[in-house]
Chains A and B, each alone.
Chain A
Amino acid sequence: MTKRTFKRAFRDSLPILAGYLALGFGFGVLLESKGYSFWWAILMSVTMFAGSGQYAGVDFLAGGATILTTAFMTLIINARHFFYGFSLLDKYKGMGIAKPYLIFGLTDETYSVVCSAKLDDTISKRKYYFFLTALDHLYWITGCTLGAVIGGVLPFSNEGIDYAMTALFIVIMVEQWLSTKEHLPAILGVVTTAVCLCVFGPDMFIIPAMTLIAFELVILRKRLDKTQPEAPETAEKTEVKQDD
């Protein structure tokens, strides 16, 4: 069962492998260009495990930002992760000692695979989530370190390989779309975020977008709430999605 679970987690993590190696590599190159050796890339990728957070972190380090600025900006950049836990409160219940690590490793990509993977009884959920998170972490650390070691010189152009993340999110969106008749939450997510991106610009849009999305979903609760008042645990059933 463990072997089967690992195989499945590995297969589901392959799109993330491509994306993390590419994005991590870019981060390593950037960090090294500011005079930080690969040890710093390892340290940051192990302890932070956050793509956009680490890219911004290079600027804070190189520019000697204050602790307060660093804390505040990191909070803004990673604020979207605040949403993820809410849909995993039940899924990550009873995960035991692995739970803190699963939560620590809740990146955009891990989250999107965790909440879309349809696992049958031949797969141990606890081990699947752990393998997936650890594999993603390993890819990320490898990418970041390689970037800092090899630097800007690659024998081929890898421009555009980071599209793996975009493609993965689009695939998951298609899967979700085909698995339900209720498309309002997906449409709200896209439209609200796009409007906020236009209004607030690429640096400040995510928190207004999150706030608005939460508001809209609460307002539309009458229409969208399929959870049963007596047994809220059944809520998870509506989350089940088709897998490939």
Chain B
Amino acid sequence: MIDGVINTPYSLILIAVMAAVTAFVRFSPFILFPEGRKRPRVITYLGTVLPYAVIGMLVVYCFKGKSVIEYPYCIPELLAAALVVGLHVWKRNTLLSVFAGVAFYMVLVQLVF
């Protein structure tokens, strides 16, 4: 199969490029501000507030392929999200909240919507 329609050397090059770029993005903050070197205070400050903003960004990122103007209008996603939030505020159990949310969402998309 590998050598059927596939250009193996070129595919390997593309994978190497993608792996290198991905690693570069993840390593760059650590390369810019190496251990033991003084860094601008604004960077330390950003490090403390970014986790909050980034998690907010990731939650929205999860919705990027979904449409609010076409059926089912993100209703399964929002209902499951409401369950996760409610359950988590109540029980504060990460596993319970995640798995209940997933089970509920699967029922919604497979059987209801």
Contacts and interface: CB of A to CB of B under 8 A. Distances in A.
Interface of A: 11-12, 14-15, 18, 35-37, 39-40, 43-44, 47-50, 53-54, 57, 60-61, 64-65, 67, 70-71, 74-75, 78-90, 92-94, 99-100, 103-104, 106, 108, 111-112, 115-116, 157-161, 163-176, 178, 180, 185-190, 192-194, 197, 202, 205-206, 209-210, 213-214, 217-218, 221, 224-227, 229, 232, 235-236, 238-239, 242, 244
Contact of A167 (B19, B28, B51, B84): B84
A89 B47 contact: yes
Contacts of B17: 67, 70-71, 74
A90 B26 CA distance: 15
Interface of B: 1-2, 4-7, 10-11, 13-19, 21-23, 25-30, 33, 35, 39, 41-65, 76-77, 80-81, 84-85, 88-89, 92-95, 97-99, 101-102, 105-106, 108-110
Nearest to B91: A244
Given A163-B105, A193-B60, A39 B2 contact: yes
Given A60-B18, A186-B52, A193-B56, A161 B81 contact: no
Given A36-B6, A57-B18, A170 B109 contact: no
B44 to A, nearest CB: 4
28 contacts: A14-B98, A15-B94, A15-B95, A15-B99, A43-B15, A48-B22, A61-B14, A64-B10, A70-B17, A71-B18, A84-B29, A86-B50, A88-B29, A89-B43, A94-B35, A103-B27, A106-B26, A159-B106, A163-B101, A174-B88, A178-B89, A197-B64, A205-B64, A206-B61, A224-B45, A227-B48, A232-B44, A244-B92
Main secondary structure of the interface of B (DSSP, over half): helix
A133 to B, nearest CB: 11
B2 A82 contact: no
B92 A86 contact: no
A86 B29 contact: yes
Contacts of A94: 35
